[in-house]
Amino acid sequence: MRALRIRLAHDNPDAAARAAEVLPDDKLPAFASFGGYHALGAELNPSPLIRRLSAMGAFFALPVCEGPDRPLIFRLWDSRDRLLPDALGVPAPPLSAQAVHPDLLITPVLAFDRKGGRLGQGGGHYDRTIQNFRASKKVFVLGLAYAGQEIAEVPTQEHDQKLDAILTENGYIQVEKN
């Protein structure tokens, strides 16, 4: 897959820290909780951004996948808690952790465009999750990616959910609402 090769080519250990540094706080809506992800493969590591947002006093949650074709459940996570593999084998908070609908959601990205199009890994977990969150409350969705993952236009389908903004090591991209 071309997008995966592009992401692998842009893998840079300094990019994650740089992205966290260039995030303009004043562009984010108020948030009491936020969701991140556990980086897999060549995904841009969200740890520096998570540390920065946590320092602002917000509660942090990680996704838990309960099975194929299911939306993700975000559970509060404390670094003292042991992560356990979810249905996809991804480290996740235990089932005893409180489930939340974050106000701000950081999503991994395989490719993105400036209209908020996001290409993920193809399972649809984030699209289902974002759709569910947006049906019950407002959520700000921030894609985290290497700048080189930008493409002219992400092919989208009706169920695909748009990003509100994208953060890369080169800066913050606000998506214009149509």
Query: Tell me, what CATH number does 155's domain have?
Result: 3.40.50.10420
Q: How many residues does the chain have?
A: 178
Q: Token digits for 142?
A: 């921030």
User: In angstroms, rounded to a whole number, what is the distance separating the alpha carbons of residues 8 and 12?
Assistant: 9
pLDDT tens track for 84-133: 999 999 999 999 999 999 999 999 999 999 999 999 987 889 999 999 99
Q: pTM to 2 decimals? A: 0.92
Query: How many structural domains is the chain composed of?
Result: 1
Number of Cβ within 10 Å of residue 59's Cβ equals 17
What Cα–Cα distance (Å) separates residue 112 from each residue in 155, 167, 175?
A: 10, 11, 11
**Average pLDDT of the chain?**
91
Are 140 and 28 in contact by the 8 Å Cβ rule? The answer is: yes
- List CB contacts of 80: < 8 A, sequence separation 6 or more: none
Q: What is the rounded average pLDDT of the residues 41-56?
A: 95
Range of the domain at 151: 2-174
State yes or no: pLDDT of 7 exceeds 50: no
Separation CA 35–CA 76 (nearest Å): 8
Question: What pLDDT score was predicted for residue 143?
Answer: 98
